[in-house]
Structure formats: C-alpha cells, structure tokens
Amino acid sequence: MSLKREVTISPTTRIEGHGKVTIRLDEEGNVSDAQFFATEIRGFDYFLRGMDAERLPFIISRICGVCSTAHVLASVKTIENICRTEITETATKLRELLSMGQIITNHSLVFFFLTLPDFWFSTTEDASRRNMFQIIREKPEVGRKAMTLRNFGVRILDVIGKREVHILSAIPGGIISPLKERERTALLQRAGDACAVAREALATGKELFEKNWEEFRKAGDHKTSYMAMTEDDALEFYDGQIRIINSEGEKLSQFASQEYMEHVEEKSAGWTYAKFAYLKNSESSDGIVQVGPTARMNINKKTATEFADEELKEFKTKFGRIAHATLLFDYARLIDLMYACEKAKELLEDETIMRADTRVKITPKGGRGVGVVEAPRGTLAHEYTLTEDGRLESMKLIIPTQVNNAAINLNVKEAAKKFIQKGEIKPGLLNRVEMVIRAYDPCIKCATRQANSELTVEVENSRGDVVKTFT
Amino acid sequence: MKVSIVSLTCCAGCVSSLLNAGEALLDVLSDDFEIVYSPTFIDLKEVPNVDLAIVEGGVRTEEDEKLIKEVRAKSRIIVALGMCATHGGITSLGNVLSLKKILEKEHSLILEANKLPELKDLMYPICNFVDVDYYVPGCPPMPLLMIHTLKSIATGKPPVRHQSVVCTECHRKIVPAKLDKLYGIYEKEADHELCLVSQGFVCLGSLTRDGCGAPCPRADFTCFGCRGPPDSLLYRSRDMYALLVKVISARTGIGEEKVKEELYRNPFIFHTFIFSRFERFKARERVI
C-alpha cells in the first residue's frame, strides 16, 4: 500500500497572520517536501502610489499592527534620507526609546502569549489547553507579570508615540513634541519592575529551555548566513551599519544602511502570497540569510547594557560563537527583551532626553531614499521614490519575514523529516513543526502587504527545478 | 461566556490594542470571558460554537468569506472590531484599482497550484456578508473602548454609544482665522490651544465619530478619521465632503472654491479608512 499523501496544518496557530503548512509524503511515507504558505494578501505597494509623503509614515504603519512602530521609524528615516535631513540628538534618543518600546511590547507578546505554552506544557498536552489563557487560569501571577512587562513598552509608545498602536509622534524631521518631566518620571517608575520581570522571564525561559534542549535541538538547525544591524560590534536597533556574516561567522560585508538594496533582492514564488528575499549573488552561494534575534546574537559581540551583555556572553559560551539551532530564536529573543528594558531605563534616566529641540524643519524633495531599522523580527528596510511635488512614485519594502522565508521553509522540511517517518505522525509532533515556524515569529501581515507584478515569478516542478519563469 | 477571536485580512493591530488593555483585560478574562478559539493564541483549528465572536479584519479572499459565514453560524453575537471589519479599513484603498487584475500573472499561477485562497474583486467589510451585532470602529479602537463594550455585552447591558464627533472630545478652542493657505502636518508647528483647522491643518475631527478621546489632536496631530463617520454622516458620504469644505472655510477664512482646490490635491484625505462598499450597513444603533 502506498503511503503517498499530503499532510496539511491549517491554519498555523500562535503566529501573526494567516498561514498553512503542507507536507508531502512519498511512497514509503517519508517526507518528500514541506512548504509554509501565506494565505492572505493586501497590496500596500500599489494603492499607496500617489499619496503625499507626509501621510506615508502613519498609513504605512497599518501594514502591521504588531510591529507598527518599526515601520513608522523606517518610513520617517526613508523620507529624511530623501530630503537629506539630519534630526537632532534629542529626537534620536526619543526614537531609540520608541524602538525599545516596540521590542518590549512585541517580544513580551511573543514570549508569553505565543511560545511560552510550548515550553510550559508537556508535548503530549491537549492542544486546547496549550495556550497562555490556560497558564493565566492556572497561575494568574504569570499573567500579571506578562502585563507588567508588556505595559512598560505600551506606556512608552503611548506617552512618546502618542498612540499605543500605530504611533503618531515620529514625523519626518524628528519627534512632534518634547517629553515632559512628569511623563518621564511616570515611565521611570515602571522601568524597574519591567527589568525585574524581564530577568525573571529570562531565568524561566533558560530553565525550560535547558530542560528540553536535547529534544529542541532536533527541530532544525539549517546553517545559513546572518544579517543584523550593529554599532561597533554592539547590539543596535535604531541606527547603525548592516553586517552580513556567513555560517562560519566570517564577515561577508558591512555597509551603511542606505546601501541595503544593493545587497538584498526580492523574489516571489507562485505558491505563496509571501515573497522571499535573498542576498545578491556576490554575497554567498545560495543567498539564504537569516535575520532576527539569533542573527543579532551571532553578529554582535556585546550589548551596551550590563545584564543583557552577561547573557549574550553566556549564550555564546553555551552555543558557540555562531548559533544555528532554530529554536534558539526563542532564547535570543529574551536577551533582546532584557536589553530593551535596560536600555529604555538608561535612556529615561538621562535628563537631556527632555530637551525641547525635537524637530527640525524639513524641505520636501523628490528622489529615491532608503531607511533601515532593526525591527523585532530582524532588519527592516523601506525604499521610496518620491516625485518632485512630494508624492509616492514607487516603493519597495524588504521585511524580515521575507528574508527568513527561505530558511523557514528549509527548517520546516527538516523538522517534518525528523518527526514524521514511514507515514506515522504522532499528534504532538505537528506542533513541533509549528514550533519551528513560531520560533521565527514570522509576521505574515508584513510579508503579504504587497503585490508587485514587476517581479520575476519562478515555477518549480516537484524536483525543485525551475520549469518556467514569468516576468 | 465562551468567546472566539477571529482574524480576517488585517494588520492584527486591533487584537494588539486589546492586549494593551493589560490588567483590565485580565479582569475581563477572569470574570466574564473564556476565550476558546483564536488562531493567534490558541491551537484549536476548528471554529467552535460560542456566545461571542470578536472579529478583526475584513473580507479580501474567498477564504475570509467562508470563515466569516461559518463564524456567524456558530456565534450568538458578533462584534466587528476595528475599521477593516466595520468599514473595509486601509486595505480597501486597494479598491481604487483592481488588485486582482494586477495580480493576474501571479494569480493565475496561484490558481493553477490551487493552494491559495482566491482574491475577491474588492476588500469588503464583514457586514456585506453577515449580520453584525456591534460595530466598534477605530484603527485600532482604544483599549478601554473595547473593554467597556465587551464588558457591557458580557453583562447583558447595551454598550455605551458614541454618536457625536471628535471635536466634542478635543480641548482646542475654535477661533475663526484669516489664513491664505492650508498647511501639511509637518509644514509648521501647531499651537497647542487653538483648533487645528483654525491653524490651516486639514483635521477630520468634525467628520469623525468620537469615543477615542481625541488622542491625535491632543498630540498636535490632525485627526485622520480612523473612527469613521458619526451617526449623522453614516449614510451620506457626499455630505461629508461638502461639510469639510464648509468647516475649513469658516474656520480659516479661505474661500470655499480655494479650499476645494487644495483638498483635491490629495484624494486620500478622507476616505483613508472607508473606501469600501457597504451593503447591509444599516444598523446605526449598533455602532459603538
């Protein structure tokens, strides 16, 4: 009897956006292929054409409600790049703080609400119970801690960003208004507790991680290149150079963020609404590169804050200078979170952050420009071309999930192979495939915002050979 | 009561905003709600029967349509959360051109592969396909607005409705001015006390439903209409334009013809979130 069939996981759960996984089994019931699909699409790249540049940042933020702040920051940086505007030091500090608020809200959401249930419950746990709401029911204090941590980020976005989701205050030319003393003190009051919870989350995460490490490391460790922002070898989220290393840790290139598009290119595939992004040919042989928490740990040697720095060093001692195991994303994310809390506290303690010079006048110009930030899920790049009267002519965004898309698919296949053999699928194991996807924290909302018919579409046959190319 | 959280085509900002309610959400969870279905948070793959379904996102694909119909059949009450669900949201700007046509090349491949849900011709709010019990517009709605609404539903009370405009929640003073042009948001710094329209900014507060607490004008930023039209303008979008021209002209002293000319320059200004077609949006008393 042939065991050839297709296994589908739909919808993939505890990730942001709509996706599904198809795993194909061959005659012997072993995995022959596995694909992770995005099943939604919206088309931002098209319908924003013609829009006034001044409206772009807060409209573009609607691409993703989870990492909206990163999009706003990338967007204002792009417009400033086109208009050749230098913002003030005070505005830079406030934007850095917004960026930390973004990391804290996102990473605490991902850790507590999306991935923690996988570590918390045993693999045989009933799927209907394997979620954060169940954890809150059993241990309400975990829920309160999660909210304490997340609320620190939310308050930063509310006070400085002026709205918690889809912030307003970051505008081309700086930040709309200065931070007031009472706002700063109120935020600082939350910072201490948030740092304490972050340390606790890190300790819990590490403990759960170590307990399951032998099993987790099986879940895929495809070796690829890595890319992240860096500032003198230190972790950086708002402004710095972009560095690419190969799987051995050798530096392939390092460049100013405005040159991003010369190093990375997009491709689309006919079978998913999400696009792929690869390194251009000169960088590495297969062009597959990963971004996100693990990439940040692999690229950087240190962090500018004390406790996160210790954790980064410990991470490197445990997993080597270049870590590859997919599920380490979850661990590395906690180090990001620790850093963001410490850094936010540090920024708030600095009284110069309240200075009044938050805005410079911007002179609208036409032309092309690029803006890059380190978003929660990795390096995020916006590129716009504006007309002389300041309207959007075209845009290109390269989103972390697009960059990771190739690696996600490879690791899904690898994980499926290890967990499904001779046609036998144990119920807990499909979640393992999802765990691999979840580790990347893919944001399908971001990766499917667009439609762009100018791109090349490749059709592959079952062997993966390209049989037809549409341009 | 048993609750499901359903996401159609959207940015997930509404559910993020709901989580931003923090402790208040934890209280609702411990007192009133048991969330049993939510692909974002829970591993259940099948839509269950529930008392209340909270729906974010609109209908962009055939799959969205199938899902919302199934959710309707299995839920006693449906709350449409956020602009995508209530009015089509920002994605409905894609309705100015045929996204489907643009995608045709890729789309035909996708259809061949028969793996991805087919796109609908336009982006629609969910009320075009199913009856909606409560609409909570906003991009996203403020956390406390959601919590108050959900809490009322849980306790069987009608939720407090907001029928007026953002200006009623804005602290700024309306003083007629004598200006000769309109200004972009970044062209000059706004005075903190004066009405933004009086200063020449195109603020949509006078056309937009209240209930948000006017966070944007408070931050020296113009309202851009993310709560959609108030009761009085719900079915009369042409009046909206005429009203805006009148308001701007009266508060800035610029002639109506010139205001029209300047507004014409930016076609996205007031349909940013509502560029869709309503078919069954006939339930004024259900908009929160």
Residue B107's pLDDT is what? 47
Q: Most A CBs within 10 Å: which of B15, B18, B20, as the mutation test of the A interface? A: B20
- Cβ <8 Å between A133 and B29: yes
Looking at CA atoms only, how far is residue A468 from chain B in angstroms?
Answer: 11
Give the pair of three-digit tokens for residue A241: 């150079």
Q: Most B CBs within 10 Å: which of A37, A40, A131, as the mutation test of the B interface? A: A40
- Cβ <8 Å between B17 and A164: yes
Residue B139's pLDDT is what? 93
Give the pair of three-digit tokens for residue B68: 């919302």
- Cβ <8 Å between A133 and B13: no
Pairing type for strands A264-269 and A251-256 reads: unpaired
> Do the beta carbons of residue A69 and residue A102 sit within 8 Å?
yes
What one-character-per-residue DSSP string does A42-102 give?
--HHHHTTT-BGGGHHHHHGGG-SSSHHHHHHHHHHHHHHHHT-PPPHHHHHHHHHHHHHH
Residues of B in contact with A166 (CB under 8 A): 13, 139-140
B102, B139, B185 member nearest A453 (Cβ)? B102
**How many residues are there in chain A?**
471
* Chain A, nearest residue to B221 by Cα: A168
Residue B105 pLDDT exceeds 60: no
- Rounded distance between C-alpha atoms, residue A369 and residue A80, angstroms: 8
- Rounded distance between C-alpha atoms, residue B38 and residue A91, angstroms: 39
pLDDT tens column, B243-287: 889 999 999 999 999 998 888 777 677 778 887 776 655 567 788
* Residue from B180, B184, B208 nearest B196 by CA: B184
Give the pair of three-digit tokens for residue A286: 């297969």
B36, B41, B96 member nearest A113 (Cβ)? B41
> Do the beta carbons of residue A382 and residue A260 sit within 8 Å?
no
> Do the beta carbons of residue A51 and residue A391 sit within 8 Å?
yes
Residues of A in contact with B39 (CB under 8 A): 11-14, 18
Give the burial class of A467: count Cβ atoms within 10 A of its Cβ; 0-12 exposed, 13-18 middle, 19 or more buried. Answer: exposed
* Residue from A49, A438, A44 nearest B11 by CA: A44
Residue B204's pLDDT is what? 92
Residues of A in contact with B221 (CB under 8 A): 162, 168-169, 176
- Cβ <8 Å between A11 and B97: no
A43, A63, A132 member nearest B11 (Cβ)? A63
> Do the beta carbons of residue B123 and residue A283 sit within 8 Å?
no
Distances (CA, A) of B98 to A107, A246, A417, B10, B37: 37, 42, 41, 18, 33
- Cβ <8 Å between A165 and B140: yes
pLDDT tens column, B36-47: 999 889 888 889
- Cβ <8 Å between B9 and A172: no
- Enumerate residue ranges in chain A where pLDDT < 50: 451-471
A171, A431, A445 member nearest B185 (Cβ)? A171
Mean pLDDT of chain B: 86
Pairing type for strands B34-37 and B2-7 reads: parallel
Distances (CA, A) of A212 to A207, A295, A315: 9, 22, 16
Amino acid at A360: V
Give every CB contact of residue A213 below 8 A, 6+ residues apart in sequence.
Answer: none
More confident position, A325 or B196: B196
Distances (CA, A) of A73 to A51, B52, B102, B185: 18, 37, 29, 17
Looking at CA atoms only, how far is residue A273 from chain B in angstroms?
Answer: 8
Residue A447's pLDDT is what? 65
- Cβ <8 Å between B220 and A164: no
Q: pTM higher than 0.80 for the full model?
A: yes
Percentage with pLDDT > 70 across chain A: 90
- Whether the complex's predicted ipTM is more than 0.90 is answered with yes
More confident position, A417 or B116: A417
Residue B114's pLDDT is what? 53
- Rounded distance between C-alpha atoms, residue A297 and residue A149, angstroms: 22
- Rounded distance between C-alpha atoms, residue A400 and residue A379, angstroms: 6
Q: Most A CBs within 10 Å: which of B7, B17, B18, B19, as the mutation test of the A interface? A: B19
- Rounded distance between C-alpha atoms, residue A274 and residue A291, angstroms: 16
* Residue from B13, B60, B82 nearest B228 by CA: B82
Residue B67 pLDDT exceeds 70: yes
- Rounded distance between C-alpha atoms, residue A312 and residue A233, angstroms: 12
pLDDT tens column, B210-220: 999 999 999 99
Query: Which of the residue ranges A460-464, B105-109, B168-172 would you say has the lowest mean pLDDT?
Result: A460-464
Residue A74's pLDDT is what? 96
Residue B279's pLDDT is what? 62
**Residue A124: in which H helix or E strand, if any?**
none
- Cβ <8 Å between B221 and A168: yes
Residue A429's pLDDT is what? 65
Phi and psi, residue B212, nearest 5° = -95, -20
Residue B57's pLDDT is what? 92
Looking at CA atoms only, how far is residue B11 from chain A in angstroms?
Answer: 4
pLDDT tens column, A374-386: 999 999 999 999 9
Residue B52 pLDDT exceeds 90: yes
A9, A163, A453 member nearest B106 (Cβ)? A453
